[in-house]
Amino acid sequence: MRYMEALDNSELSFLIVQEEKERRQYYKVFRFLMFLSFILPFAGSWYKAYDGAPNAFSALKFFTSTAVLLSISAGGTWMSFRINLRKIQWDIKQRTKTIETTQITQKRYMPHNDTYHFYLSSLTKLSIEVTPEDYHRLAEGDEVSIEYTTHACFYLGYF
C-alpha cells in the first residue's frame, strides 16, 4: 500500500541541501571536463611536435577536437543532470513524499558494526537500519511503513 503526504520542513530542507550539493558537484565535474577538453588537444599537439610531425599545432585541429570534447562533456553532464538532479528538483517543487507499507522478510544483526537491519519486500528500499527496540519488538512478516521522496526515492525514515 502506498500513499503520498506533504513533506515537513526538516525533510524539505534536507532535500534543498541535497540539491545544492548535487548541483555543486555537477558544476565541479563540468569544470574539470572543460579543462580536459582544452588540455587534451593541446597535449596531443605537443606529442605530435615531439614526434616531429609537420604542422603539429594546427588551429583547426585544435578547435575541432576541443569542440568535440566539449560537446561530449556537455551532453553527458546534461543527461546526468536530467536523469538525477531533476528528480530532486521535482520533489522540492511538489513537496510530497511517498509512504509505503511493506513486510519484513528478514531480520539481521550486524555484529561487526553493532547495527540491526530489516530486509523488506519493497522494490524501492530493500533494507533499513532500525533501532534495537524495534528489532526485538517486530518479527518477520510484520508490516512496517517507510517514507521516501516520491521521485528521487531518498529514504526519510520508517515507523
Number of CB atoms found within 10 A of residue 102's CB? 20
Predicted local confidence at residue 120, as pLDDT: 92
Q: Residue 156 — pLDDT band, cuts 50, 70, 90? A: confident
- Which residues, 6+ apart, have CB-to-CB distance to 87 below 8 Å? 151, 152, 153
- Among 70, 94, 118, the domain-final residue is 94
Predicted local confidence at residue 17, as pLDDT: 92
pLDDT over 70 (residue 30): yes
- pTM comes to 0.67
DSSP bridge pairs for 145: 101
Does 19 share its domain with 77? yes
Q: Cα(77)–Cα(123) distance, rounded to whole angstroms?
A: 28
Domain-embedded: residue 1: no
Domain-embedded: residue 78: yes
Structure confidence by residue, pLDDT tens digits, 58-97? 778 888 888 998 899 889 888 888 888 888 889 889 898 9
Does 86 share its domain with 30? yes
pLDDT over 70 (residue 43): yes
Per the structure, how many domains does the chain have? 2
Does 47 share its domain with 64? yes
Return the half-sphere exposure (C-beta side, CA atoms, 13 A cut-off) of residue 41: 19
Does 66 share its domain with 119? no
Does 80 share its domain with 148? no
Does 128 share its domain with 80? no
Asked whether 7 and 141 are in contact (CB, 8 A), the reply is no
Does 116 share its domain with 65? no
